[in-house]
Amino acid sequence: MKIAIAGGGPGGLYFAALMKQLHPAHDVTVWERNAPDDTFGFGVVFSDETLGGIESADTEIYRRMESRFARWTDIDVDVDGHTFTVGGQGFAAMSRKELLQILQQRAAQLGVTVHYRTAAPDVAALRATHDLVLAADGLNSTIRSAAPEVFGPTLDRRHNKYIWLGTDLVFEAFQFFVKQTEWGTMQIHGYPYSDTGSTFIVEMHEDVWRRAGFDRTEDEVLAPGASDEHAVERIAEIFRDELEGHQVLTNNSRWITFHTVRNERWHDGNVVLLGDAAHTAHFSIGSGTKLAMEDALALAACLHEHAGVEEALTAYESERRPVVESTQRAAQASLEWFENIGMYADQDPAQLVFNLLTRSRRITFENLKERDEGFAALMEAEFARQQGSAEVVPAMFHPARIGPLELKNRVILSPMDMYSAVDGLPGELHLVHLGSKALGGAGLVMTEMTCVSPEGRITPGCPGLWTDEQRDAWARVTGFVHSHSTAKIGLQLGHSGRKGSTRLMWEGMDEPLEEGNWPVIGPSALPYGEGGHVPREMTRGDMDTVVSDFVAAARRGVEAGFDLVEVHAAHGYLLSSFLSPVSNRRTDEYGGDITHRLRFPLEVFDAVRAAVPATIPVTVRISATDWVPDGNTADDAVEIARAFIEHGAAAIDVSSGQVTKDERPAFGRSYQTPFADRIRHEVAAPAGVAVIAVGAISSYDDVNSILLAGRADLCALGRTHLYDPQWTLHAAAEQGYQGPAADWPLPWQAGRRKPPTSRTDKVPPRLSLLRRGQVEPVHVRWKPATPPLAG
């Protein structure tokens, strides 16, 4: 093949070297606009997985890299002078300049032609004269920019400022500093890369950056390669204690705003994107160099394994895209956490450290426990101390309060529509569904949305509380829960609004009924989606009727024996549709800005709160974002939560979306938890109000991690309970917990221990037992033999 490569960074050079090894007859040419000794940045970090791939593909490059590695296993986190260390992680780093030298030498040794200080020719010319054109030309890729209609790039500009520096202080581990200053929170990301230096990245929100005076050079045009000396001087002053008298080093160091790059397509014909040209991920989750070299390895393998270029490039994109998108999801969670780090200023230092370590949701409590049991035990002990408990147990098994209601643990059965009622009457399925989860150990079981009127149903199978007969049917359910378990049971009340009069879920979710339908209402005459019912815009009389229906249903709920009442103001149903600008286009006092859109939902909430005794908490479920442009955002969610708290909400149950069919949710592990986290820290915790996290929380590890980090007070799980009705009891058995927070019903106590699995009578070799005991040390520090002197 004849191969053209635009960009002589690590990704481009590594790909060139791999291709020449696979077939020495390949004609590979690299164009690099910088000189061979020009490199920006200081260190590069690699994971064990990436290094394994490099070692398998090119032992010579790996051998040279390994000889330069700084290795360690610890992460040190300093929060305003409180230092915590977690071990067992495993890192390898080296100088970026030395890495480039190794790759340059290897490429030259293999016969790759490299043109330094030379821009790549026009992509059209390269495409016509080469079998493959590789765009490894970075974030501001010229090749990608020349064909935006083909690659479909999006560049997401973020809110933090950061500057890439170095220091002659050699850290012994991955080092985070979180520092509260008079201007706001600043953080340092640092790590050693040699026996003489460390990378030292300073990051802060743009608002903090401006308040601290770093914007003084914002409009200055720095010469190529020059650094922002004003910033360096200020940083040396602010972080004097952290630097311990050592120098701040520069290399084209200037303030940068991170951009997340995504592309709809990574290749077009014989042109393919690699590394930062195709995608970026925030530096807090891993280096761009690492991703680029992984891309290069995958691309070279696909070209070697497939007969044609198009087939190979399709395979490359299919292989790498899921990996990269997973990394980008984790990186997005991480960068957003650092953007909002200021809201954790008052968090207990130990909890903030755990919060930081688990910020991407890739690392969890169990991950940390597996690597460093001592650190995990410390986190559990600190959580117990914060709860005022002398007993250290898994976080999920600490009791919790929602207003006056005490729960034995922090697990909630999330409301889930069963679509199995007849004329609004809950039946035997509801008794078994809710009763089994109560017996299964959940601290609180929630009904599905129970409708306040026949017209407020979603489907003909939805239960209600508009008759005394329905009240009595619910009383049978609450009676079972109270007499056979120590769980509490909550009632979720709602009105379907414009999403009503639809088919049962398994007959066509959100599809309008063809027969037996009923008129639907909403804040505006806008359907939920194409082909949906067009609601009648509500009058003041309609509002009065709905308020009365909610009050009557709430009173029946109290009479039925429910321990808690939740007002459903999420998922695009009636109250949610008033809150969202997507569905509320009214021009009267119930539409417009968020204050006016809140007016009717708050009126309903106030009426329910007044109808329910003070001994029974009233909570609210909200959609924290609409997942569409011009819809509600996390900022709106904070104000919505604040308003309900001011009106007496005992808890905020934080879900998201389902307001419009046009939504584009960012699904992923615990994907709605960041909304709960923000609401808890900004408005709920200061008011003593509980926050419930919900959404793709599927393991006890997820629950414990969320609670230990302080992202929520309780966790609601839905589908997980459908899979395993005794999920909470099984989680207790898995964790070795026995106690009142997971009390097995007396008839079931013989099963409270995890059943034995298959066994073998084979006796392992005796000496292998000795070797098995030789475990890797948890704490490995980078300690060069001759550390440099300060300064």
The answer to whether 458 touches 451, Cβ cutoff 8 Å, is yes
The answer to whether 573 touches 449, Cβ cutoff 8 Å, is yes
Does residue 193 sit in helix, strand or coil? Answer: coil
Give, as one character, the DSSP assignment of residue 356.
Answer: H
Catalytic choice (14, 419, 573, 700) = 573
Beta-bridge partners for 324: none
**H or E segment and range at residue 757:** none
The answer to whether 158 touches 339, Cβ cutoff 8 Å, is yes
Q: What is the dihedral of CA 13, 17, 18, 22, to 10 degrees?
A: 150
User: What tokens were used for 70?
Assistant: 């700084």
The answer to whether 724 touches 730, Cβ cutoff 8 Å, is yes
Does residue 770 sit in helix, strand or coil? Answer: helix
Give, as one character, the DSSP assignment of residue 598.
Answer: T
573 catalytic? Reply is yes
Enumerate residues 6+ apart whose C-beta is below 8 A from 299: 15, 134, 272, 274, 312, 313, 316, 320
- Comparing CA positions, the residue from 82, 176, 174, 86 lying closest to residue 369 is 86
Give, as one character, the DSSP assignment of residue 748.
Answer: G
Rounded Cα distance, 48 and 549, in Å: 61
Please tell me the total number of residues recorded for the chain in this structure.
791
Give, as one character, the DSSP assignment of residue 325.
Answer: H
CA 142 to chain centre: 32
The answer to whether 606 touches 618, Cβ cutoff 8 Å, is no
Sheet holding 27-32, edge to edge: 113-116, 27-32, 2-6, 132-135, 271-273, 267-268
The answer to whether 99 touches 12, Cβ cutoff 8 Å, is no
Q: Which residues are catalytic?
A: 573
